Amino acid sequence: MRRGTLSQTIMYAGITIYSLICLLPMLLVLMISITDEDSILRNGYSLFPEDFSLLAYKLIFTGGSQALHSYMITIVVTLVGTVLAVTITAMAGYTLSNKSVRYRNLLALYFFITMIFTAGIVPWYLMNRALGLTNNILALIIPSLLFSPFNLFLVRNFMSGIPDSLRESATIDGANDLTIAFRIFLPLSMPVLATIALFYGLDYWNNWWNAIMLIDNRDLYPLQFMLLQLKSEISMINEMTMIAGADDYTLPSESVKMATAIVTIGPIVFLYPYLQKYFVKGLVIGSVKG
C-alpha cells in the first residue's frame, strides 16, 4: 500500500512539474506583453521585468473600435463556418460509413486524392472571384467551408464502428436516412464531432489568408489580419524613425507581438478545457475504429 501511495505521489509530482513547465512559455509571453519596450531592449525577455507598460494593449484597442469590430467579425465567421463545416463533414462521413451506399469506396478514394494533389492558388482565387466571394463576409466563410479529408475519414472511421443493427432497426421502423443520421448516428458521434469542431474552429479563428486574398474592405478585416497589419505598420514606423535618426522613441514592437499572441489565443485557451474530454476520446476512438 505504501509502495502504491509513493508511486502515485511521484506520478502526481511529475505531472505537476510538467504542467508548470508548460505554463512557463505562456507566462513569459504575458509578462513581455506588459513590459516597457526600453526594458526589453536593455534586458531582453524576462519573467520579472523592471518596468511595466500597457502601451501594447492600448495600441491594439485604440483607433476607434477596429479591434473589437474585428473580434466580432472573427467570432461570427468562426461560429457560422464551424457549424456548417461540421454538418457537411458529418453527413459526408455518415454516407461513406453506410454499407448500403454504392461506390462508397470510390468516393472515399476521390476525397483521399485531394489530400495529396491540389489545384494551386491561382485557380482557387479565380474560382472565388467568379463566385462573387470578394469583399463580403461570405469570402471569409465559404472558401474554407469544404470539409477537410482528414476530418472526413476521422468521422467515417468512428461511424463505421457503430453497429449496423441500429440502422437496420430504424429502417424497419420506417425511418429515412436523415432521421437515422440526425437522431441516431450524430448523437452517438458527439466525441468525434467535438474533435473536428475544435479543428475547424481553430482554422477559422486563425485564418488570415482569405482576408489577404479576397478582402479590401477594412470593416471586414478579421482579428488575425488586423493584428498582422498593426505589427507591420509598427515595424515600418520604427524603421523610418531609425532612418531619420530619431532614436529617442520607438513603438513597442516586441511587446505588441506578445500582446497579439495573448489577444488571439485567449478565447481558444478558455474554450479548450470544455472540449478536452471529447477531443481526446474522439481522436483515439476515431483513429482505431473502422
pLDDT of residue 239: 66
Contacts of 76 (CB under 8 A, 6+ apart): 137
pLDDT at 206: 86
Out of 27-36, 113-122, 263-272, which region has the weakest mean confidence (pLDDT)? 263-272
**Once rounded to an integer, what is the mean pLDDT over residues 258-275?**
74
Q: What is the pLDDT of residue 77?
A: 92
pLDDT digits (tens, 9 = 90+) for 59-96: 777 755 577 788 889 889 999 999 999 999 999 888 88
Q: Name which residue leads in pLDDT, 217 or 281.
A: 217
| pLDDT of the residue at 287 | 47
Rounded CA separation 70/67 (Å): 5
User: Please, what is the average pLDDT of the chain?
Assistant: 80
pLDDT above 70 as % of the chain: 82
- In this prediction, residue 244 carries a pLDDT of 58
Q: What is the pLDDT of residue 53?
A: 82
pLDDT score at 86: 92
In this predicted model, which residue has the larger pLDDT, 63 or 268? 268
In whole angstroms, what is the distance from residue 7 CA to residue 36 CA?
45
2-57 tens-digit pLDDT: 556 777 888 888 888 988 888 888 888 888 888 887 787 777 787 887 788 888 78
Lowest-confidence region among 53-57, 199-203, 251-255: 251-255
| pLDDT for 46 | 79
Per domain, the residue ranges of the chain are 55-288
Q: How many CB atoms lie within 10 A of CB 278?
A: 17
pLDDT number for residue 243: 62
**What kind of architecture, by CATH, is found in domain 55-288?**
Orthogonal Bundle (1.10)
Contact between 58 and 154 (Cβ < 8 Å):
no
Residue 174 C-alpha cell reads as 420506417
